[in-house]
Amino acid sequence: MTQTTSTAAAIAEEELASNPAANTNDDKARFPFAIVGHVDHGKSTLIGRLLHDTGSLPEGKLAELKAASDKRGGVLEWSFLLDAFQAERDQGITIDTTQIFFSTAKRRYVIIDAPGHKEFLKNAISGVAQAQAAFLVIDAAEGVREQSRRHALILHILGLRQVAVLINKIDLIDHDADRYAAVAAEIRHYLGQLGVTPLALVPISARNGDNIASRSEKTPWYDGPTVVDVLDNFVPALAPVDQHLRLPVQDVFKFDHRRIVAGRIESGRLRVGDQLVFSPSGKQAKIASLESWSAAPQIAAGAGQSIALTLDDELFIQRGDIATHVEHQPHLAHQATVRLFWLDTAPLLAGDRLKLKVATSEYPVFVERIHAVIDVGNLAATQSDRIDQNAVAEVTLRSPALMALDKFDEFAKTGRGVLLRDGDIVGGAIVLHAGAVDQSRHLYSPTQSIGSADRASANGHRGAVLWLTGLSGSGKSTLAVSAEHRLFQRGRQVVVLDGDTLRQGLNSDLGFSPEARAENIRRTAEVAKLLAETGLIVFVSLISPWQADREKARRIVGENFAEIYVQADIETCKSRDPKGLYKKALQGEIKNFTGIDQPYEAPEKPDLTIDTTALTEEQALQHLLDLVDGLSALNGYEGRKPTDSYTI
């Protein structure tokens, strides 16, 4: 036990859990620990029992629990102590995480209960992220299950290294030593792959109280610690005051005619007179004073403290800047490779746009590359182009903004962040590698204009022109508009140039003679080219009946041009006739109508043919979007090489 404890102590010193009660060493401090594991394996029951067996329940609580259990016609459910919602009690399942205070003879604790059901992983993480140690509870009869593994993996990503395993419901396997050993071996192996050595494995019955606060007679073959023993041996983390300074700026106040920089020191220490540099801007100033109210004046402060300071120079500092000492600054990068867990119901795809929020800074990012999705079963890295809810993956993110980042293994608090989509937290990420700086953007040069490569890297895709040709009524506009919506939702810069609309403005002076049509196409192609050069994905929806005109358009636009033949036979188009034009043309009210009294030259070698008479709208759209993805994809940007094994 001594040996494992001292390793744990070493690791614990490196990390600092976000729970405030954790960073302290006085006797009032509360050590936060979490209970994790698969659904129904007895986590909440264990906590209820632990409180009861250590005499921590308030008066009348037991009677209340009995009443709530009787009402539901079952045995006493200790879990009701935590599962306070009616829905939780009625369904016998924890929905949301909760915290409860208790103490042993040795010290005070905060217990964090986590739901085990897959659907509530976001809630489990919300709780567990505040813990400094965890018990992984496994049902002895059911053995290691999917969420047992997933929770173990999440503990690892959260940086939690003090883990003990409780093999519960030992009564269900008749307190059998061999069956216990089999489950123990399985979980030991899995944790071993993660590089985690459990501090202890304990056979327990949460419901009956075996090996919780005292050693049980029913497991004479077990001579290890009880749950309370293990608990009392976890080692509290200390605030990382000895690391380099990291002070993310939270706000700049203008009270009392002064500019006051407010923030919490995440690591290290500072004192009045220190020279600070603010990343990513690189501006420097000295600390003029530390400000406070109703407290003794300070000249120094350290990790964990929320402080306010003034500078000797009126710099333009803003929320999100990160202050450090000059010698030890964070990495500046446009690119970061992260390990993430994804919590949104909608999957994360390559090219998707998000915000990465690290401490108080928010950066727009897009997913440049998905290197691997981790198989929770065997921890193998698998190739995938999507990251589903609750998955763990490694990706490279790219930002048009210069990001000030640390690596997670060097600075826990400024080397991790959340991913936001539409203002919602949809994932968490730890920084493995802070990558390249785009020189063109980093170095501001007033004489150098911004090129299409810069725009592409800012947008996360290249500009492109998708030229949709086909008969009136073949479905060009419908396709273009649905593609526009779909891509816009995925964060792409996109626009549709519709023939009809253009003829109302830019081309309103043109008729339908072959010459006028040629000029119509020339102008449209020039506009499309300009837009594509500014980074947009441009859909042109134009009958453009002549092959020669379309070839000219391709020449004007240059690269990133695709000709798409939206195919439908004339009879179908006539019958669709969405604008009633065929009818008019057939009655002679409109002249020079393609397909009626002017020919349509079908493309000889289109980049894509979409037959709208044979495909559903969704299928047609998918064909088109696949082409767009290929055409607008970024390439030639260096990313980290795909990881083919998940090394921990």
Partner 1 sequence: MSHLDALESQSIYILREAYNRLKPLGMLWSLGKDSNVMLWLARKAFLGHVPFAAIHVDTGKKFPEMYEFRERFSKEWNLNLIVRDCPPVDSVDPSLPPAARSAARKTEGLKRVMNEFGFKGIIAGIRRDEQATRAKERVFSPRADNGAWNFRDQPPEFWDHFKSDLPEGAHLRVHPLLAWTELDIWRYIERENIPVVSLYYTKNGKRYRSLGDQDITSPVESNASTIAEIIQELETTKTSERAGRAMDHEREDAFERLRASGYM
Ligand X SMILES: Nc1nc2c(ncn2[C@@H]2O[C@H](COP(=O)(O)OP(=O)(O)OP(=O)(O)O)[C@@H](O)[C@H]2O)c(=O)[nH]1
Q: Are 114 and 124 in contact (CB under 8 A)?
A: yes
Q: Considering the rule CB under 5 A, would residue 44 count as an interface residue with Mg ion?
A: yes
Query: Integer distance in angstroms from the first to the last C-alpha of the chain?
Result: 24
Active-site residue flag, 216: no
How many C-beta atoms surround the C-beta of residue 341 within 10 A?
A: 24
Q: Which among 54-62, 394-402, 541-549, 570-578 is the span making contact with partner 1, rule CB under 8 A?
A: 54-62
Please identify, using beta-carbon distances, which residue of 255 and 444 lies nearer to partner 1.
Answer: 255
Q: Round to whole Å and give the CA distance between 366 and 565.
A: 31
Q: How far is CA 55 from CA 203, 205, 207, in A?
A: 22, 18, 16
What long-range pairs does 254-259 form, CB within 8 A, spacing at least 24? 258/310, 259/310, 259/311, 259/314, 259/317
Q: Considering the rule CB under 5 A, would residue 457 count as an interface residue with Mg ion?
A: no
**Of residues 292-311, those binding partner 1 (CB under 8 A):** 292-295, 302, 304-306, 308
**Of residues 78-117, those binding partner 1 (CB under 8 A):** 81-82, 84-87, 95-101, 110
**Of residues 527-566, those binding ligand X (CB under 6 A):** none
Contact string 39-78 vs ligand X (x = CB under 6 A): xxxxxxx-------------------------------x-
Q: Considering the rule CB under 8 A, would residue 349 count as an interface residue with partner 1?
A: no
Q: Round to whole Å and give the CA distance between 319 and 361.
A: 7
- Strands 306-311 and 283-290, sheet pairing: antiparallel
Please identify, using beta-carbon distances, which residue of 95 and 181 lies nearer to ligand X.
Answer: 95
Q: Considering the rule CB under 6 A, would residue 93 count as an interface residue with ligand X?
A: yes
List CB contacts of 80: < 8 A, sequence separation 6 or more: 48, 65, 68, 69, 89
Contact string 75-114 vs Mg ion (x = CB under 5 A): -------------------x--------------------
Please identify, using beta-carbon distances, which residue of 19 and 44 lies nearer to Mg ion.
Answer: 44
Q: Are 274 and 247 in contact (CB under 8 A)?
A: no
Please identify, using beta-carbon distances, which residue of 49 and 398 lies nearer to ligand X.
Answer: 49
By a kind-dependent CB cut-off of 5 to 8 A, residue 171 interacts, out of partner 1, Mg ion, ligand X, none, with: ligand X
* CA 130 from centre of chain: 18
Q: Tell me, what DSSP letter sits at residue 606?
A: -
Q: Are 416 and 431 in contact (CB under 8 A)?
A: yes
Residue 60 CB, nearest approach to partner 1 (Å): 8
Q: Which among 18-26, 271-279, 395-403, 517-525 is the span making contact with partner 1, rule CB under 8 A?
A: 18-26
How many C-beta atoms surround the C-beta of residue 440 within 10 A?
A: 14
The active-site residue, picked from 544, 575, 632, 645, is 544
Residue with the two structure tokens 């005292």: 214
Q: Considering the rule CB under 8 A, would residue 262 count as an interface residue with partner 1?
A: yes
Q: Which among 199-207, 210-218, 250-258, 626-634 is the span making contact with partner 1, rule CB under 8 A?
A: 250-258
Residue 31 CB, nearest approach to partner 1 (Å): 11
Please identify, using beta-carbon distances, which residue of 324 and 390 lies nearer to ligand X.
Answer: 390
Q: How far is CA 268 from CA 301, 388, 440, 640, in A?
A: 9, 37, 33, 30
Residue 568, amino acid: A
Q: How far is CA 170 from CA 95, 116, 176, 237, 288, in A?
A: 25, 19, 8, 32, 62
Q: Which residues are catalytic?
A: 544
Where do contacts with Mg ion occur on this chain (CB under 5 A)? 43-44, 94
Where do contacts with partner 1 occur on this chain (CB under 8 A)? 18-24, 26, 28-30, 58-61, 67-68, 71, 81-82, 84-87, 95-101, 110, 122-123, 125-126, 129-130, 239, 250-251, 253, 255-256, 260, 262, 264, 291-295, 302, 304-306, 308, 319, 343, 357, 413, 416-418, 422-425, 428
